[in-house]
Structure 1
Amino acid sequence: MEVTRLIDYLEAYFPLSLQEGWDNSGLQISPQESSIKGVLLSLDVNSQTINEAIKLGCNLIVSHHPLLFSSTKKIFNDFYPYNVLYKAIQKGIGVYAFHTNLDIAEGGLNDYLCNLLELKDIEIIENKRPLRIGRLNRGLDFEVFVDYVKEKLSCDAIKYIKANDRLIKRVAVCSGSCMELVYEILDLDFDVFLSGDLKHHTAIFAKESGINVVDATHYHTEKFSKFILKDIIKRKFRELRVFVSESDYLPWDYR
């Protein structure tokens, strides 16, 4: 099957026009051959991802995070991401990313998280496009909700801010690195904000503003992207060789 046929099919679900202005979703590296031998679905593209693609005989990686974000003036082979770029090109492996368009689209990553958390009455916040707000079946104490998130997202440890004693019923959800939205959502009706990549000063702002926050990490809120893509691909292309990467990882450890 031709690469363009698969990409056109996926873009119908997650149009590039939905991506944020700063994003670089789309084709990162064109494969050496236009015909697909196998597809590897990943969250990130690192050295292990390329090795995995080679081992599985895949010549196309479809990732969530783009390998390249900003304009590039120089390429050196001794640091990331250019070492990965070099190896992918040498091995004829193409890379395509569905990033914020997958976050924003209906049926995409944030809707998946809402379903995983069993939220009801999901609201899409128009001027905060990735953000969803949904309702739990019953109110939970904050500590119980934190444990609930750990279980549903399979997190070993998460950061949180308990800024009030409110019972958790309405949950604001935004995958990845959306914590800066804390400054923009004070007027919305929710009891806790779930995202990743909470920074020090943003945490102080949330605490002082009375906003409960759960930071489930960038990785754990976005690791499901590859399963979304696999499900959609297999609906139409059942015979296509599609693999879910086992090389994605949380890049730090806890003690």
Structure 2
Amino acid sequence: MNFKVSDIIELLDTEYSFSLQENWDNSGFQIGNLEAEIKGILLALDITIDSINYAVSNNINCIITHHPLFFEKIQYLNVNSEYYKKLELLMNNKINVISLHTPLDIHPNGVNKYLADKCLLNNQEVFVDYKEGYGYGIVGSIENDIFKNYLTKLKNNFKNPILYFGNIEKSISKIAVLGGSGAFSIKNAISKKVDLLISSDFKYHDIQLSLENNLNIVDLGHFESEIFGLLSLKEFLISKNVDLKILLYENNIFKRNIF
């Protein structure tokens, strides 16, 4: 079966509902030709020069990103900027871009479901309510464990060093996860008496507020906390008989380097 760009957008909308996105979000069609026939799909967190070149080298003409290509108002374009070069590379290679940001964040089987499973959570529920029954993050439980032991399990599951804050000997059982930037959810975690919040992009005073309220923190990294949502997206496309080459771009340019 052949798929046009517009077909994929319509298919995504039936499951993830672009109308549910945040007012500040820009999920949906970003650039390209809605009538173009798709040769293959690349799933990526972001549009980068490397991800575009990866698509080109694999004869792929459609990239579905988590973070929108166009987010803030464009007031000018500098031909020497990285942003302009990305747009030029996309247009020269006739690559179409679709973005699925907050609709994938709030989807029951999106970013946070995969993250919660990876973090071994049972009894999973919505963490921060949004609207129409949807929400951000998942709160759940593990069998009572010492934080240090649980960190070892996380390190093995994610195959990455784990950045944490809090008492390493603390006993934990109630855990919340939130893919992407999760500092806004700290007060929710405190009010729900969560022992550990796993997310990313925490600032100094975010950590201060958490520790003053006996809330341990794991800063997993933005990329690391969201990449699994693209796996769920791939599974969805396959389940809808999108019989095209579908690749996942896993190169993390923001990978932590701990000296």
> What secondary structure, in the 3-state scheme, does the structure 2 residue paired with 1:6 have?
helix
Partner of 1:197: 201
**Alpha-carbon contact 2:111-2:230 (below 8 Å) kept:** no
Partner of 2:140: 134
1:214 equivalent in alignment to 2:224: no
- The count of corresponding residues between Structure 1 and Structure 2 is 253
- Within the candidate set 103, 106, 111, 1:104 is matched to 106
- In 1, Cα distance between the equivalents of 2:188 and 2:8? 37
Identity of matched residues, %: 29
- Within the candidate set 29, 32, 35, 1:30 is matched to 32
The verdict on how the C-alpha distance between 1:241 and 1:152 changes in structure 2, with shifts beyond 3 A counting, is same
**Alpha-carbon contact 2:195-2:214 (below 8 Å) kept:** no
Partner of 1:153: 158
Deviates more, 1:184-193 or 1:36-45: 184-193
- In 1, Cα distance between the equivalents of 2:15 and 2:150? 32
Amino acid paired to 1:203: I
- In 1, Cα distance between the equivalents of 2:209 and 2:12? 39
- In 1, Cα distance between the equivalents of 2:208 and 2:50? 37
**Alpha-carbon contact 2:124-2:141 (below 8 Å) kept:** yes
- In 2, Cα distance between the equivalents of 1:246 and 1:181? 27
- In 2, Cα distance between the equivalents of 1:207 and 1:187? 14
1:210 Cα deviation from its structure 2 partner? 1.7
Partner of 1:120: 122
Amino acid paired to 1:145: Y
Amino acid paired to 2:137: L
The ranges of structure 1 where at least 4 consecutive aligned residues each deviate by more than 3 angstroms after the TM superposition are 163-166, 246-249
**Alpha-carbon contact 1:42-1:62 (below 8 Å) kept:** yes
- In 2, Cα distance between the equivalents of 1:230 and 1:131? 20
The verdict on how the C-alpha distance between 1:63 and 1:159 changes in structure 2, with shifts beyond 3 A counting, is same
> What secondary structure, in the 3-state scheme, does the structure 1 residue paired with 2:190 have?
coil
1:229 equivalent in alignment to 2:221: no
Cα RMSD between the aligned structures?
Answer: 1.9
User: Structure 1: any 5+ residue segments left out of the alignment?
Assistant: none
**Alpha-carbon contact 1:39-1:241 (below 8 Å) kept:** yes
- Structure whose residues are more often strand by fraction: 2
> What secondary structure, in the 3-state scheme, does the structure 2 residue paired with 1:223 have?
helix
> What secondary structure, in the 3-state scheme, does the structure 2 residue paired with 1:130 have?
strand
Partner of 1:54: 56
1:183 Cα deviation from its structure 2 partner? 3.3
1:77 Cα deviation from its structure 2 partner? 2.9
1:111 Cα deviation from its structure 2 partner? 1.1
- In 2, Cα distance between the equivalents of 1:242 and 1:164? 41
Partner of 1:182: 186
1:117 Cα deviation from its structure 2 partner? 2.2
The verdict on how the C-alpha distance between 1:123 and 1:189 changes in structure 2, with shifts beyond 3 A counting, is farther
Partner of 2:73: 71
1:78-98 deviation line (CA, Å, top 9, x unaligned)? 223332122112211111111
**Alpha-carbon contact 2:110-2:233 (below 8 Å) kept:** no
- In 1, Cα distance between the equivalents of 2:191 and 2:37? 50
Deviates more, 1:125-134 or 1:201-210: 125-134
- In 1, Cα distance between the equivalents of 2:86 and 2:257? 23
1:38 Cα deviation from its structure 2 partner? 1.1
- In 2, Cα distance between the equivalents of 1:124 and 1:140? 22
**Alpha-carbon contact 2:43-2:230 (below 8 Å) kept:** yes
- In 2, Cα distance between the equivalents of 1:251 and 1:31? 33
The verdict on how the C-alpha distance between 1:164 and 1:226 changes in structure 2, with shifts beyond 3 A counting, is closer
User: Structure 2: any 5+ residue segments left out of the alignment?
Assistant: none
**Alpha-carbon contact 1:176-1:219 (below 8 Å) kept:** yes
**Alpha-carbon contact 1:32-1:92 (below 8 Å) kept:** no
**Alpha-carbon contact 1:39-1:59 (below 8 Å) kept:** yes
- In 1, Cα distance between the equivalents of 2:247 and 2:47? 14
**Alpha-carbon contact 1:33-1:92 (below 8 Å) kept:** no
